Amino acid sequence: MQSLADYIRLYFIIEAQYIKARMQYRADFIISSIGMFFSSLATLGVFWVILESVPDLAGWSLMEMIFIYAFYMIAISPMQILFDHAWNIRFHVREGTFLKYYFRPLNMMFYYMSEMFDLKGLTQLLVGIALLVYASNQLNIDWTFLRLALLLITLFSAALVQISIIVAASCAAFWVIDSYPVLGLAWKLREFSPYPMSIFDGAFRFAFTYLIPIGFVAFYPSQLFLRPEEVSPLIYFSPIVGIGLFTITYWIWTKGVNSYTGTGS
């Protein structure tokens, strides 16, 4: 059980069983998907209402905001769908059930995260893709091969940034048991990533670009497609930001897993 291909094969086997089990609760799946649909569009609704009263948001039109928002929805989907189990670390740690993850000849993060596959997150992904197609049609974005490749690379990096922030926050459970407050804060920050970073200045802009780089989740990469002429050179670092951040998160996870001693219950 070492090669990447083995892991991918294993992942499909695990998720197939998981999805079969979840499908017992069909009504729950439908209601949850509807809930996901509305909750993922809430912030866009706010932008829409605001842009009914003013012509643009820091120079960005409604259609451009929809594009940025669609990019954001797609970029956060891997976190939602593949890493949703991060929210439960605090329960496993408190109840002592986390111990079982030490006993398999598998990568622990892989084994732990594979236990959940968030079906309702697919709604968010689909709505995101639909909105991206719609907005880029309206904005007459010409999808050349190069642009499509850039889109995939930036989406991949953005997804890694988002995954890293949430997983790192959830790792707080290894030290303080109840990681909900830290996760809540990370979750709140996530909601600010489709905001035009150009509205911020000073400390906020610095923090959102360099410290907790939520700017790389949607706004900076979207500029590549919306306004390529005024793009900041920062964006070319986005794969490094994504991979670097994930490496740090993986290091935190390893530290946490090794220092966890159980609560004695």
Partner 1 sequence: MRSYFPVARATYMIGLVYRFGFLFGIVGNLVYLGVAYYLWKSIYRYSDVIRGLTFNETFIYVALGSAIFILLKTYADWIIHYEIREGAIAMYLTKPIDYQIYALFANFGALLMNLSAITVPTALVMLFVFKVNFVFGPGLFLFPISLLLAFLISFSIDYFVGLIGFYSESVWGLSITKEIIVTVFSGALIPLQFFPDGIQRVLYWLPFQAIYHTPLMMLTRPNQGLDVFLAMILVQLLWAGLLFWLARLFYNQAIKVLRIAGG
Q: Which residues bind partner 1 (CB under 8 A)?
A: 25, 27-28, 30-36, 38-39, 42, 45-46, 49-50, 52-55, 57-58, 120, 176, 178, 180-182, 184-185, 188-189, 192, 195-196, 199-201, 204
Return the number of the residue (181 or 247) whose C-beta is nearest partner 1: 181
Those residues whose C-beta lies under 8 Å from the C-beta of residue 30, and which sit 6 or more positions away, are none
Those residues whose C-beta lies under 8 Å from the C-beta of residue 153, and which sit 6 or more positions away, are 238, 239
- Two tokens, residue 224: 């590549």
Return the number of the residue (57 or 151) whose C-beta is nearest partner 1: 57
CB of 135 to partner 1, least distance (A): 21
Return the number of the residue (5 or 42) whose C-beta is nearest partner 1: 42
Return the number of the residue (11 or 37) whose C-beta is nearest partner 1: 37
Spatial CA neighbour of 115 closest among 100, 130, 127: 100
Rounded to 5 degrees, φ, ψ at 250 are: -65, -35
CB of 149 to partner 1, least distance (A): 33
Q: Give the separation between CA 25 and CA 238, rounded to whole angstroms.
A: 40
Q: Within a 13 Å sphere around the CA of 214, how many CA atoms are in the beta-carbon half?
A: 22
CB of 144 to partner 1, least distance (A): 32
CB of 59 to partner 1, least distance (A): 9
